[in-house]
Amino acid sequence: MNPWRALFLQDMLSSSSEHLIILHHFAMSFIVGVTIMVFFMCVAVTISKTFVIKTTHMNMTEFLWTTTPMVVLMAMALPTVKVLYSNEDSHWPDLTIKVMGSQWYWNYEYSDFMNLNFDSYMTQESDLTLNSQRLLDSDNHVIIPYKIMTRMMISSSDVIHSFSLPQFSVKMDAVPGRINQIFIMPKKPLITYGQCSEICGVNHSFMPICLEAVSTSNFINWINKQ
């Protein structure tokens, strides 16, 4: 997790989230360029008395400021649509986890493994260890294998929650009576944190998500111990 004073985005932990970061930088390059151009034109109009006269009723100028925004929007739209569709594309998952939001904890069910399920509450301050994250750590971590496509099917048992993992660039609403899904595939062993990002009641701030990616062998050993 980035500290509170961080100025930049968090380190991304999957290929899909890295593509979103690249798209962000690509879009920002256009935004900076347009901002500089508009600033230059504002300064030119303010300083030069003949700038408006020289640029009025010029066919080439009008053609350029009509077509240039169209080209810029197309240049931004094509990679945006590609990245969004690649993230939403249906993958064939190797592992499925059912996630149920409740006031105010998460329930995880590994239905592929004899209906293993458990509740995950925020770790109390009295139980925190030296390396624990206050308000972000939980008593039961979500364990998944890395380099394995994992599908999370998300719903709610009471009110609307939102399952958010910033370092995977995923956020999905948990809506009662409806099942939404996200796909994640960590690239390496890791521990990452998230939170409910939909105001769901008085303890909304106290239902964190703690996801841990381990090797396949360690994951199988963990499953066998449950």
Q: What is the DSSP string of 122-160?
A: BPPGGG--TTPPTTT-BSS-EEEETTS-EEEEEEESSS-
- Six token digits for residue 189: 């062993």
CA 16/CA 32 separation, integer angstroms? 25
Residue pair 93/150 in contact (Cβ under 8 Å)? The answer is yes
For 19, list phi and psi in degrees, rounded to 5: -65, -35
Q: What is the pLDDT of residues 157-179, one digit of tens each?
A: 999 999 999 888 889 999 999 99
Do 15-88 and 95-224 agree at the fold level?
no
In CATH terms, the fold of domain 95-224 is Immunoglobulin-like (2.60.40)
Q: According to CATH, what is the number of the domain 15-88? A: 1.10.287
Domain ranges of the chain: 15-88, 95-224
Q: What is the pLDDT of residues 183-202, one digit of tens each?
A: 888 888 989 999 999 999 99
CA 80/CA 87 separation, integer angstroms? 11
Q: Percent of the chain having pLDDT more than 70?
A: 89
Q: Percent of the chain having pLDDT more than 90?
A: 36
